[in-house]
Amino acid sequence: MIATMCRWLAYSGTPIRLEELLVKRDRSLIDQSLHARQGATTTNGDGFGVGWYVDGEPPRVYRSTHPAWNDRNLRELAAGVSSPLFFAHIRASTGTAIQETNTHPFRHGTWLWMHNGLIREFPRVRRELVLAVDDSLYPSIEGTTDSEAMFFLALTFGLEDDPVDAVERMVGFVEATGRRNGVEHPMQMTVATTDGRTVWAFRYSSEGDSRTLYFSTRMDSLKAMYPESAELAQLSDETRVVVSEPLGDLAGAWNEVPESHAGIVQPGADELRPFTPRA
Amino acid sequence: MIATMCRWLAYSGTPIRLEELLVKRDRSLIDQSLHARQGATTTNGDGFGVGWYVDGEPPRVYRSTHPAWNDRNLRELAAGVSSPLFFAHIRASTGTAIQETNTHPFRHGTWLWMHNGLIREFPRVRRELVLAVDDSLYPSIEGTTDSEAMFFLALTFGLEDDPVDAVERMVGFVEATGRRNGVEHPMQMTVATTDGRTVWAFRYSSEGDSRTLYFSTRMDSLKAMYPESAELAQLSDETRVVVSEPLGDLAGAWNEVPESHAGIVQPGADELRPFTPRA
Amino acid sequence: MIATMCRWLAYSGTPIRLEELLVKRDRSLIDQSLHARQGATTTNGDGFGVGWYVDGEPPRVYRSTHPAWNDRNLRELAAGVSSPLFFAHIRASTGTAIQETNTHPFRHGTWLWMHNGLIREFPRVRRELVLAVDDSLYPSIEGTTDSEAMFFLALTFGLEDDPVDAVERMVGFVEATGRRNGVEHPMQMTVATTDGRTVWAFRYSSEGDSRTLYFSTRMDSLKAMYPESAELAQLSDETRVVVSEPLGDLAGAWNEVPESHAGIVQPGADELRPFTPRA
Amino acid sequence: MIATMCRWLAYSGTPIRLEELLVKRDRSLIDQSLHARQGATTTNGDGFGVGWYVDGEPPRVYRSTHPAWNDRNLRELAAGVSSPLFFAHIRASTGTAIQETNTHPFRHGTWLWMHNGLIREFPRVRRELVLAVDDSLYPSIEGTTDSEAMFFLALTFGLEDDPVDAVERMVGFVEATGRRNGVEHPMQMTVATTDGRTVWAFRYSSEGDSRTLYFSTRMDSLKAMYPESAELAQLSDETRVVVSEPLGDLAGAWNEVPESHAGIVQPGADELRPFTPRA
Return the residue of B nearest to C40 by Cα. B35
Residues from C contacting A (CB-CB < 8 Å) are 52, 54, 60-64, 72-73, 76-77, 79-81, 100
Q: Compute CA distances D238 → D257, D267, D268, whole Å.
A: 18, 7, 8
Residue A112 pairs with which residues in a beta bridge?
Answer: A107, A194
CB B121 within 8 A of CB B178: yes
Q: Find the helix or strand (DSSP H, E) in which C174 lies.
A: helix C163-180
List of chain C residues whose C-beta atoms are within 8 Å of the C-beta of residue D100: 97, 99
List of chain C residues whose C-beta atoms are within 8 Å of the C-beta of residue A77: 60, 62, 77
Residue D224, judged by CB atoms within 10 A of its CB (0-12, 13-18, 19+), counts as: middle
Residue C166 DSSP class: H
**Per mean pLDDT, which range of A37-41, C5-9, D121-125 is the poorest?**
A37-41
User: Which percentage of chain B shows pLDDT scores above 90?
Assistant: 54
Task: Return the top range by mean pLDDT from B67-76, B251-260, C109-118, C136-145.
Answer: C109-118
Look at D255 and B252; give whichever has higher pLDDT: D255
Task: Give me the pLDDT at residue D156, please.
Answer: 98
Could you write out the DSSP letters of every residue in D40-102? SSS---S-EEEEEE-TTPPPEEEEESS-GGG-HHHHHHHHH-EEEEEEEEE---SSS--SGGG
**A:D CB pairs within 8 Å:** 39
Structure confidence by residue, pLDDT tens digits, D256-277: 999 999 999 988 888 999 999 9
Q: How confident is the model at residue A250 (pLDDT cuts 50, 70, 90)?
A: low
CB C152 within 8 A of CB C143: no
Q: How confident is the model at residue A6 (pLDDT cuts 50, 70, 90)?
A: confident
User: Whole-model pTM?
Assistant: 0.85
Return the residue of A nearest to C52 by Cα. A80
**pLDDT over 50 (residue A219):** yes
Return the residue of C nearest to B67 by Cα. C45
Task: Give me the pLDDT at residue C254, please.
Answer: 82
**pLDDT over 60 (residue A4):** no
Peptide bond preceding C274 in cis form (omega within 30 of 0): no
Residue D18, judged by CB atoms within 10 A of its CB (0-12, 13-18, 19+), counts as: buried
Distance from CA of D127 to the nearest CA of B (A): 28
The amino acid sitting at B21 is: L
Q: How confident is the model at residue B168 (pLDDT cuts 50, 70, 90)?
A: very high
**Nearest CA among A226, A225, A203, A199 for reference residue A214:** A203
Task: Give me the pLDDT at residue B99, please.
Answer: 83
Contacts of A76 (CB under 8 A, 6+ apart): C60, C61, C62
Per-residue pLDDT, averaged over C2-10, amounts to 72
Task: Return the top range by mean pLDDT from C52-61, C90-99, C211-220, C251-260.
Answer: C52-61
Euclidean distance between CA atoms B10 and B193, whole angstroms: 9
Distance from CA of A63 to the nearest CA of C (A): 7
Q: Is D13 helix (H, G, I), strand (E, B) or coil?
A: strand
Per-residue pLDDT, averaged over A159-188, amounts to 97
Distance from CA of D138 to the nearest CA of C (A): 7
Euclidean distance between CA atoms A128 and A16, whole angstroms: 42
C2, C3, C5, C6: the catalytic one is: C6
Look at C70 and C261; give whichever has higher pLDDT: C261
Q: Compute CA distances A94 → A98, A257, D69, D77, D211, whole Å.
A: 10, 26, 10, 21, 32
Q: Annotate A9-32 with b (16+ C-beta within 10 A) or e (fewer).
A: bbbbbbbbbbbbbbbbbeebbbbb
Euclidean distance between CA atoms A11 and A232, whole angstroms: 12
List of chain C residues whose C-beta atoms are within 8 Å of the C-beta of residue A62: 73, 76-77
The amino acid sitting at A157 is: F
Q: Which of D97, D100, D124 sits opposite C142 (nearest CB)?
A: D97
Q: What angle do CA B266, B272, B275 make, to 5 degrees?
A: 120
Return the residue of A nearest to D96 by Cα. A70
**Nearest CA among B66, B112, B86 for reference residue B9:** B86
Distance from CA of C227 to the nearest CA of A (A): 23
Supply the ipTM of this predicted assembly. Answer: 0.83
Euclidean distance between CA atoms C272 and C115, whole angstroms: 19
Q: How confident is the model at residue B34 (pLDDT cuts 50, 70, 90)?
A: low
Look at C253 and D125; give whichever has higher pLDDT: D125
**pLDDT over 90 (residue C177):** yes
Q: Which of A63, A72, A79 sits opposite C100 (nearest CB)?
A: A72
Euclidean distance between CA atoms B261 and B271, whole angstroms: 10
Q: Compute CA distances A121 → A72, A156, C104, whole Å.
A: 35, 22, 46
Task: Give me the pLDDT at residue C27, please.
Answer: 65
Q: Which of C100, C124, C138 sits opposite D99 (nearest CB)?
A: C100
Strand ranges across the sheet with A254-256: A60-64, A48-53, A82-90, A7-17, A240-243, A214-216, A254-256
Return the residue of B nearest to D73 by Cα. B62
Distance from CA of C103 to the nearest CA of A (A): 13
Return the residue of B nearest to D54 by Cα. B80
Mutate to test the interface with A, among B66, B96, B101 (most CBs of A within 10 A): B101
Residue A104 pairs with which residues in a beta bridge?
Answer: none
Task: Verify whether the Cβ–Cβ distance D43 to A43 is below 8 Å.
Answer: yes
Task: Verify whether the Cβ–Cβ distance A66 to D66 is below 8 Å.
Answer: yes
Task: Give me the pLDDT at residue D250, please.
Answer: 62
Task: Verify whether the Cβ–Cβ distance B127 to A144 is below 8 Å.
Answer: no
Mutate to test the interface with B, among A65, A98, A99, A140 (most CBs of B within 10 A): A99
Chains meeting D at 3+ CB pairs closer than 8 A? A, B, C
Q: Compute CA distances D71 → A45, A132, B39, B186, C98, whole Å.
A: 12, 33, 32, 36, 19
**Nearest CA among C157, C34, C23 for reference residue C79:** C23
Task: Verify whether the Cβ–Cβ distance C139 to D131 is below 8 Å.
Answer: no
List of chain A residues whose C-beta atoms are within 8 Å of the C-beta of residue B99: 97, 99-101
Contacts of B230 (CB under 8 A, 6+ apart): none
**Per mean pLDDT, which range of A129-133, B7-11, B94-98, B100-104 is the poorest?**
B94-98
Chains meeting C at 3+ CB pairs closer than 8 A? A, B, D
Task: Verify whether the Cβ–Cβ distance A45 to D45 is below 8 Å.
Answer: yes
Q: How confident is the model at residue C41 (pLDDT cuts 50, 70, 90)?
A: very low
Look at C30 and B187; give whichever has higher pLDDT: B187
Q: Compute CA distances B91 → B22, B63, D72, whole Å.
A: 14, 11, 19
Q: What angle do CA B148, A65, A145 make, to 5 degrees?
A: 50
Q: Which of C97, C142, C144 sits opposite D100 (nearest CB)?
A: C97
Task: Give me the pLDDT at residue B24, please.
Answer: 74
Per-residue pLDDT, averaged over A30-43, amounts to 55
Task: Verify whether the Cβ–Cβ distance A77 to C60 is below 8 Å.
Answer: yes
Q: How far apart are the first and last CA of chain B?
A: 27
**pLDDT over 70 (residue B21):** yes
A5, A6, A68, A189: the catalytic one is: A6
**pLDDT over 60 (residue A42):** no
**pLDDT over 70 (residue B41):** no
**A:B CB pairs within 8 Å:** 38
**Nearest CA among B40, B98, B43 for reference residue C31:** B43
Chains meeting B at 3+ CB pairs closer than 8 A? A, C, D
H helices, E strands: number in chain B? 8, 13
Q: Compute CA distances D111 → A269, C82, D14, D108, whole Å.
A: 68, 50, 20, 5
Taking every pair of Cα atoms in chain B, the longest distance, rounded to a whole number of angstroms, is: 54
| D6 labelled catalytic | yes
Q: Compute CA distances B32 → B42, B147, B241, D106, whole Å.
A: 10, 21, 16, 30
Task: Give me the pLDDT at residue C40, please.
Answer: 39
Task: Give me the pLDDT at residue A2, please.
Answer: 35
Q: Compute CA distances A4 → A45, A189, B156, B171, whole Å.
A: 12, 11, 31, 39
**Per mean pLDDT, which range of A114-123, B111-120, C13-22, D255-264 is the poorest?**
C13-22
Per-residue pLDDT, averaged over C132-138, amounts to 93
Query: How many CB atoms neighbour CB B192 within 10 A?
Result: 26
Task: Give me the pLDDT at residue D66, please.
Answer: 80
Could you write out the DSSP letters of every residue in A208-262? S-PPP-EEE--HHHHHHH-TT-HHHHT--TT-EEEESS-SSS-GGGEEEPPTTEE
Rounded CA Rg of chain D: 17
Q: Find the helix or strand (DSSP H, E) in which D264 lies.
A: strand D261-265
Q: How far is CA B220 from the centre of its chain?
A: 24
Calculate the average pLDDT of chain A.
Answer: 86
Task: Give me the pLDDT at residue B101, please.
Answer: 85
List of chain A residues whose C-beta atoms are within 8 Å of the C-beta of residue D46: 67, 70
**Nearest CA among A191, A224, A45, A197 for reference residue A105:** A191
Return the residue of D nearest to A97 by Cα. D70
Query: How many CB atoms neighbour CB A165 within 10 A?
Result: 14
Distance from CA of B35 to the nearest CA of C (A): 6
Structure confidence by residue, pLDDT tens digits, A122-146: 999 999 999 999 999 998 998 889 9
Task: Verify whether the Cβ–Cβ distance D43 to A46 is below 8 Å.
Answer: no
Spell out, as residue ranges, where chain D has pLDDT lower than 70: 1-4, 25-27, 31-43, 94-95, 217-222, 224-226, 231, 249-252
Task: Give me the pLDDT at residue D40, please.
Answer: 39
Per-residue pLDDT, averaged over A98-111, amounts to 91
